[in-house]
Amino acid sequence: MTFVETDSLVVRVVEIGESDVVVTLVTEQLGKVAALARGARKSSRRMAGALEPLHTIRVLLQDKGRDLATLKEARVVRLRPTLMADLDSIEAAGIALRWARHLFPLHTREPQGWHVLIDLLDRLDGRGASASPRRELARSGLALLTAVGYGLDLARCVECGRSCPEDKAACVDPGRGGLVCRSCGGAHDVLGPSTRRDARALSDGDVDEISDGSAGAILDLVDRAMAAHTGFER
């Protein structure tokens, strides 16, 4: 057993007994961790109301490898009050944390995925945001898929590698990783050329010229890709 101090995000809390909770954390140093927090629902200086989502907290964990860790201490190190005051931002942040909870494997560091989440939450809190929460979430969703090895290829067929002309609609299968040409069996869903261009622009970090309608179509594609790879119900 080792003690680890790390920045974390709360992605789930389950109440156990009268005062304990099992908290699922996405951490910077350990990846996703499930930890028992004894007495967390009582007033305690060790927790001090820190087990709230959307803020960055610093935790001290007694790590037991693959078993349930023990949460010894937790404190908030980055509040996001502007995010918490906007319902659209709260919804976008909640979706991103749900994605991370299902997408990140236990006890596997995901440094790129961690930075995508922190960047999104900070943008939603007004630190560099230049677009609506939906567009920011769509950009981050594509980046999260790439971070864990499930990135979508929307330029060429994932089976044969044939490029798709930019001005043409294309069949897309999020579970198979992107476009599938008709010669390779195609797919039920079709992406128009403008949505494909917008998705590539978001992948490059350009959110200013993307409409919320296009962001919604990309979000649906991202959510279906997440569900296909993790099995969670949409």
- Consecutive sets of 10 residues in the chain, 234 residues long: mean pLDDT of each? 92 90 95 90 70 94 84 94 94 96 93 97 81 91 95 95 93 95 93 91 83 89 92 76
44, 79, 114 - which closes a domain: 79
Last residue of a domain, one of 51, 79, 107: 79
207 and 142 fall within a common domain: yes
Question: Which of these three, 79, 98, 128, is where a domain ends?
Answer: 79
Structural domain range at position 118: 82-230
Nearby residues of 126 by Cβ (< 8 Å), 6 or more positions away:
82, 83
Q: Do 159 and 69 sit in the same domain of this protein?
A: no
User: Would you state the pLDDT for residue 3?
Assistant: 93
* 87 and 57 fall within a common domain: no
Give the chain's domain count.
Answer: 2
Per-residue pLDDT, 118: 97
- The pLDDT of residue 180: 96
Residues 181 and 226 in one domain: yes
Here the CATH number for the domain that contains residue 93 is 1.20.1440.120
Q: What is the pLDDT of residue 18?
A: 85
Same-domain check for residues 172 and 89: yes
pLDDT of res. 178 = 95
Task: Kindly state whether residues 20 and 131 are assigned to the same domain.
Answer: no
Look at the block and give the residue holding tokens 């590539």. Answer: 200
What CA dihedral angle connects 135, 136, 137 and 139, to 10 degrees? 90
Q: What is the pTM of this model?
A: 0.91
Question: How high is the pLDDT of residue 130?
Answer: 63
Terminal Cα distance for the chain, rounded: 37
The reply to whether 105 and 215 lie within a common domain is: yes
Residues 74 and 108 in one domain: no
